[in-house]
Chain A
Amino acid sequence: AQTVTQSQPEMSVQEAETVTLSCTYDTSESDYYLFWYKQPPSRQMILVIRQEAYKQQNATENRFSVNFQKAAKYFSLKISDSQLGDAAMYFCAYRRSTGTASKLTFGTGTRLQVTL
Chain B
Amino acid sequence: SAVISQKPSRDICQRGTSLTIQCQVDSQVTMMFWYRQQPGQSLTLIATANQGSEATYESGFVIDKFPISRPNLTFSTLTVSNMSPEDSSIYLCSVEDVAGSSSSYNEQFFGPGTRLTVL
Contact = CB atoms under 8 A, between A and B. Distances in A.
B43 A106 contact: yes
B43 A104 contact: yes
B96 A102 contact: yes
Q: Is the interface of B mostly helix, strand, loop or mixed?
A: strand
* Among A47, A91, A95, A102: residue with most chain B CB under 10 A: A102
A46 B4 CA distance: 12
Contact of B108 (A44, A52, A104): A104
Nearest to B90: A43
Given A102-B31, A108-B41, A44 B113 contact: yes
B70 to A, nearest CB: 15
Contact of B106 (A43, A47, A91, A102): A102
A107 B44 CA distance: 10
A interface, size bucket: 10 to 19
A92 to B, nearest CB: 10
Contacts of A50: 105, 107
B112 A44 contact: yes
Contact of B48 (A33, A103, A108): A103
A33 B115 contact: no
Interface of B: 31, 33, 41-45, 48, 58, 90, 92, 94, 96, 105-110, 112-113, 115
> 6 closest Cβ contacts across the A-B interface?
A45-B110, A43-B113, A106-B42, A106-B43, A103-B45, A108-B42
Interface of A: 33, 42-47, 50, 52, 91, 95, 100, 102-104, 106-109
28 contacts: A33-B105, A42-B112, A43-B90, A43-B112, A43-B115, A44-B110, A44-B112, A44-B113, A45-B43, A45-B92, A45-B94, A45-B110, A46-B110, A47-B107, A47-B108, A47-B109, A50-B107, A52-B105, A91-B43, A102-B31, A102-B96, A102-B108, A103-B33, A104-B43, A104-B94, A106-B42, A108-B41, A109-B42
